[in-house]
Chain A
C-alpha cells in the first residue's frame, strides 16, 4: 500500500511539469473570444524560435504577441485585422501557413505537380516491366 502511494506520488511529480501552462494569462471571459485567441496564436510563428508557434513557446517575444492578440480581440478587432497587423510588421513569415497568392502559388501547387509527375514515371516503369515479363514468358514457352 505504501509502495503504491509512493509510486503514485512519483508519477504525479513527473507529470506535474506538463500541466504548467506556457500561457500564464487567464482565459478571456467570452468563450468564443477565447476560442479565437487560441486559434490565432496557433497560426502565428514565433520568430525567436522559428519552428514553433506562438501558443507553445515561453519566449518573451511570444508573450508579447499573445498579449497583443488578446488586447486586439478585446478591442473588437476581427481575426483578419489581427493577422494583417502582424503581417504588416513582421512580414508573411509570421504566418505558419503561407497565404494563397500568386507569389506563393508554386508552394501550394508543387506537391500536386510532383505527384502527377511521379505517378507518370511510376506508370511508365510498371508498364515497361510488364512488357518485359511478357517477353520472358514467351521465351520460356
Chain B
C-alpha cells in the first residue's frame, strides 16, 4: 500500500468542503477529473454525469474490476420564492428534519450564505416547543435583499476538521469513498483493469451506478461507501445490539443489506485478505440500508458484487464523525485485495 497521510487527508478535505447535491455533482466531478486524468487510460463523463475512468493493467488474464463510489450528497433544492430573500425548499435524499433548524447553508453555484430558520421558541406554546418542525415549516433565508433561483441546490455550510483520531465533516458519505477510489486509481496494480465509477444520484435511488455497471460490464464490482455507526450508548445503560457498525473497528464488509445479498465469495475473499495482512475489519450488521451494490449486482446478466464502507456517525446530518484509522485500514484492505484478484476468485460458486 502507498503511504497514507497528508496527501489523502488534504484531498478528502477538498472533496468534503464542496457541495454536490444529487443531480448537481459538478463540483466533485471537477476534482475527480483533475485527480484521475493523469493516471487513467480513458476517462469519460456519461449522460448522467458519472465519471468513468479506466486504468488498464499489464499481462494476460486480467480481470475487469469495477470500483464504485458515489459523488453526490444529501442536501436541498429551493422550490419556491417567498420574497425578501426567503425560500421554501425540499430535501434531496434522506435527511431527518430535526437536524435542520438553526443550521447554516450555502446556496447555488456562488455558495451564497444562508441560514435555515423557523418560528422562534418564545412565540410557541409548550406543546409546540417539543414538536418536530417538518421541512415545510422551515425556510432558507439569504437576508432581506438576498437573491437565489428556484431550482438552486443548497448544502450544509460545515467546514472539514481534523480532531484527534477523527474527522468531523459534512458528506463523509461518500466523499471518503471518492477519495479512496481516487487513491486506488493512482496506485492501481497490474493484474486488473480498474474500472473506476464515480457515480451520481446514489442518494436518490442508485441511478448513476446502474448505467456505470452497464457501461463497464465488469467481471466483479466493489462499492466503496460510508455506512452509519449507530454505536452510541443506550440511555441509562444496557447493551446496544443494533449498532450497524462501530467506529474504530476498521472497514465494514457488507454481507446483506436492504437490497443486496453480497457475493459470498467476495465477502470471504475480503475477510481472508484482511486476516492475512492483519488489517482490522468488521462485518456490518445485516439489515436495511444499501449502497450502489444494489444497482450493480443486478445490472446486465448479473455482476458479483461486494460492498466495503468506512463507518461514520451522524449520517446525513450537518456534521458526521469518522476515524482516520478506519479510513486508512479501508484503503489498506482495498489495495491489498486488488492485488490478489484473479479469475479463480469467481470461477466457481
Do A and B make up one complex? no
A interface vs B, CB < 8 Å?
Answer: none
